[in-house]
Amino acid sequence: MVELILTVLPYTQAVLSILLIVAILLQQTGTGMGALGGASQDESVHYTRRGAEKFLFQATIVLAVLFVVSALIALVVA
């Protein structure tokens, strides 16, 4: 059983990391490149995530948790 985990875990972590990177890059804040310097257009605007944006946000959280769990499993098994 441990051998199977040690064989499959690196591939699982690679796939999770790629999916997590893609999910993070697909999220848009709408502030553009100005946010990199600390500038924003209107900081008091609050909106609710809906549809695909909400799904992408929740999927990012799930992928991050799965990646952390897989890293902890790798730490315990190794």
**φ, ψ for residue 19 (rounded to 5)?**
-65, -40
In a domain, 33, yes or no: no
In a domain, 55, yes or no: yes
Q: Which domain, by its residues, includes 70? A: 2-28+48-77
Listed in sequence order, the residues at least 6 apart from 26 whose beta carbon sits closer than 8 Å to its beta carbon are: 56
Q: In tens digits, what is the pLDDT along the chain, a chain of 78 residues?
A: 889 888 999 999 999 999 999 999 998 765 555 555 555 555 666 778 888 889 999 999 999 999 999 999 999 998
Total structural domains in the chain?
Answer: 1
Whole-angstrom CA distances from 59 to 43, 66, 69, 75 are 25, 10, 15, 24
pTM: 0.74
Q: Which two tokens stand for residue 69?
A: 């769990």
